[in-house]
Amino acid sequence: MSARVDLVEGGRIALFSLRANRLRTVLTTVGIGIGVATLLAIVGIIQGLNTSFDAQLANIGANNLFVSKWPWVIKGDWWEFRNRKDFTLEDVELVRAQSTYATAVAPMSGRSSDVAHGPEQVSNVRINGTTREYLTIGGLDVVQGRFLTDADNETIAAVAVLGADVAGSLFPGIDPLGRSVRIDGRPFRVVGVLGREGKLLDNNLDLQVLVPFKTFRALFGKGRSLTIAVSITRLEDLALAEDQLVGILRRARGTPPDAPEDFSINKPDQLASTYEQLTGALYGVATGIGLITLLVGGIGIMNIMLVSVRERTREIGVRRALGARKRTIVLQFLMEASAVSAFGGALGTAVGLAGAKIVSEISPLAAAVQPLTVAGGVGFAGMVGLLFGIWPAARAANLDPVEALRYE
């Protein structure tokens, strides 16, 4: 019962003190608010980037493997990978025939080029040559027309499926189906348009054009590197499928038993690991800056509370002389410090979320803050107030009542 009375009375006195010193309260609140806003904005951008990256990886497909002479992340001698033997269509057919885990196998080869229709032109478009099975492997959504067919590939047809950004730029408000686009000056008939896929790291997946694989090789050269895209039915079979692919390709390429593989099997989790390595240190530094800013705000609270103790020394002496216990004095000052800090945390959370949202709107950086993070921002700010209010509260409670009454 007495503890509840102390809590209620301490809270009432703390609020009265805060109202009596409005300017000091506002300045202290702004100090802690800046710290929380900085931290929340950084955390919001980090969470947004992580969410965006996870969504981008989903576009690749967790149960897909991409076999190439080039690894996605090059570590070591570039010339070692450059001098590897290229894959052939015979390798693609061998994987299709011998892999018991693969549900779809498609060759892929690409280059960058300009794509035009009339006076409109889109630069630096990724032109990918592939087959109908890539529709399954890539998880693509054809929103208009159709995808590439086996007949398109076998007849070396000059047809194209446009990415969403290419179609939107070349045919604004116009149905592109059946119309012609020029790729390196060569005409292609549009047979389909893909739905939006977004970005993968710095690669815009909507800025692409898909053409039949044999058409690509006939028009743009057979000497380009070939990638074998393989889709696995069950994610839990991915490791077994990878081991099987290694055996199939080592035999096909005549790799000696004691020699390492002269090819790379690329998986989405490799990109995730690289992403964590690249961003881990950066995120640590950014979060550290936010915490330092919050620490400065906490020191400001401690300083203001020490000033408050000195100004209210006589008041504390009177209360102690009238029977107030040390616990009551400690509660009063701790509640005062935590109230200021929590209010500043709420204000800083709102500003931080708004800042993160503005950054996401005016820049490529994404921002997404979880509800738990918002609650954590306010709660953490309150904890900072409690932590930095301990010393001033203890100092107030330990004042000698007689000396405090004499204080002027």
Query: pLDDT digits over 377-396, tens only?
Result: 677 777 777 787 777 777 77
pLDDT, average across residues 203-219: 91
What is the distance between the alpha carbons of residues 10 and 278, in angstroms, rounded to a whole number? 49
Q: What is the pTM of this model?
A: 0.65
Q: What is the DSSP letter of 69?
A: S
pLDDT tens-digit series, residues 23-49 = 666 766 777 777 777 777 777 777 777
Range scoring the smallest mean pLDDT among 120-134, 153-167, 253-267, 297-311 = 297-311
Find, among 158, 164, 155, the residue nearest to 181 by Cα: 158
The percent of residues above 70 in pLDDT, for the chain, comes to: 80
Give every CB contact of residue 180 below 8 A, 6+ residues apart in sequence. Answer: 117, 187, 188, 189, 190
Pick the closest to residue 189 from 215, 164, 157 (CA basis): 157
330 has pLDDT over 90: no
Side-chain half-sphere of 395: how many Cα atoms within 13 Å? 16
Instruction: Decide if 151 contacts 234 (C-beta within 8 A).
Output: no
Q: 86 falls in which pLDDT band (50, 70, 90)? A: confident
Question: Mean pLDDT, to the nearest integer, of 119-131?
Answer: 92
List the chain domain ranges. 2-56+272-406, 85-262
Residues 6+ apart with CB under 8 A from 276: none
CB atoms within 10 A of CB 260: 8
- Under the banding of pLDDT at 50, 70 and 90, the label for residue 18 is low
* Cα dihedral sign, 104-105-106-108: positive
Distance separating alpha carbons of residues 68 and 84, to the nearest angstrom: 10
